[in-house]
């Protein structure tokens, strides 16, 4: 009798170890990820069979057993997943249960234009007045995401970030009072492309608003590069700001409402998608005695009280 009990325990141990190994140990210690599709309406058994066919699990039976015992067969979600044979059945099942679908991670730097964003994601973004309102950030999008979904997520992010600033535009006598969000974003986009540090942004904001108030042309080089499409790489290696961009006399004569050398006032729309520092600087400019500024090819900014001093800096730092 004792021998039978011992034998039964031994058999149970062998079967238990067999099932534990099949469920908790991956098919292989190493393996590349591959895309695995779970179609809407597929049953647990169909999914398990496809997992085995794709070489992702040792045996479909182990996947069926684990999910069935967990009682989660109705929670498996459709979608595309990155799976690897180096993952255990428990991990694979958890991905499918939680809907951890395959995603592409996209980082949009501050100062990128809509065109640059489209080039990065490989999609045309439909919609009007998108420039300036596609908030620069790191995003996760499901594979096969549409342009409409991307625009919604980026614009929703913009609204979330911009909302705390709205009271400042309504407060009488406060910073940004009387200005519309659209005007603020236009100014922020100019600041974003012109200078690098937050301290410089505050000063440049003060200069540009002061020029507008006094009926002076803004004369922002970044509006010219926006028209011409010329790009240079900044010190961080990002082709976003016009540090060192060569602007010719012919460029300055381009007949475009975005030419702030030729036309007074703000351009008709933003020239890029600014970050929070530039938005903040546009709303809270810093007053100074300066009227002029320029940035060299390294992004260092020089401020001047007079045109004479500004021309001196131009000859010294921009004629190289």
The answer to whether 283 and 276 are in contact (CB under 8 A) is: no
Q: What gap in Å lies between CA 255 and CA 247, rounded to an integer?
A: 15
Crossing angle for the helix pair 276-283 and 181-194, to the nearest 10 degrees: 120
Neighbouring C-beta atoms of residue 203, cutoff 10 Å:
22
Instruction: For 299-318, write each residue's pLDDT tens digit.
Output: 899 999 999 999 998 888 88
Walk me through the domains of the chain, giving residue ranges and CATH numbers. Answer: 2-98 (3.30.1490.480), 103-162 (no CATH), 169-317 (no CATH)
* CA 125 from centre of chain: 14
Give the per-residue pLDDT at 21.
Answer: 82
Nearest C-alpha neighbor of 45 from the set 56, 58, 61, 21 = 61
The answer to whether 96 and 51 are in contact (CB under 8 A) is: no
Find which of 116-120, 163-167, 172-176 is predicted with most confidence, using mean pLDDT. Answer: 116-120
Q: How confident is the model at residue 237 (pLDDT cuts 50, 70, 90)?
A: very low
> What residues contact 207, with CB distance under 8 A and at least 6 apart?
288, 290, 291, 292, 293, 303
Largest Cα span, the chain: 108
Q: How confident is the model at residue 7 (pLDDT cuts 50, 70, 90)?
A: low
Give the per-residue pLDDT at 235.
Answer: 43
């Amino acid at each position: 009798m004792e021998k039978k009990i011992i034998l039964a325990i031994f058999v149970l141990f062998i079967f238990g170890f067999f099932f534990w190994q099949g469920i908790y140990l991956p098919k292989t210690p190493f393996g590349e990820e591959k895309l695995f599709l779970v179609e809407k309406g597929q049953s647990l058994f169909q999914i398990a069979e496809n997992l085995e066919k794709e070489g992702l699990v040792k045996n479909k039976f182990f996947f069926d057993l684990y999910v069935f015992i967990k009682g989660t067969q109705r929670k498996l979600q459709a979608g595309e997943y990155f799976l690897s044979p180096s993952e255990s059945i428990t991990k694979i099942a958890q991905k499918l249960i939680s809907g951890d679908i395959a995603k592409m991670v996209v980082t949009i730097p501050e100062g990128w234009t809509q065109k640059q964003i489209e080039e990065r994601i490989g999609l045309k973004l439909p919609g009007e007045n998108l420039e300036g309102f596609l908030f620069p950030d790191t995003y996760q999008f499901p594979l096969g995401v549409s342009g409409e979904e991307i625009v919604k997520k980026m614009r929703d992010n913009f609204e979330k970030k911009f909302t705390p600033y709205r009271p400042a535009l309504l407060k009488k006598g406060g910073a940004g009072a009387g200005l519309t969000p659209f005007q603020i974003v236009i100014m922020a986009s100019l600041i974003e492309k012109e200078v690098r540090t937050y301290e410089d942004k505050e000063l440049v904001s003060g200069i540009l608003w002061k020029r507008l108030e006094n009926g002076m042309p803004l004369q922002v080089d970044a509006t010219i590069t926006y028209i011409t499409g010329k790009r240079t790489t900044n010190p961080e290696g990002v082709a976003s700001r016009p540090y060192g961009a060569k602007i010719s006399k012919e460029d300055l004569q381009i007949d475009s409402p975005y030419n702030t050398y030729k036309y007074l006032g703000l351009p008709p729309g933003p020239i890029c998608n600014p970050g929070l520092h530039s938005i903040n600087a546009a709303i809270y400019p810093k007053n100074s005695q300066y009227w002029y500024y320029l940035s060299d090819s390294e992004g260092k900014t020089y401020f001047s009280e007079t045109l004479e001093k500004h021309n001196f800096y131009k000859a010294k730092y921009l004629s190289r």
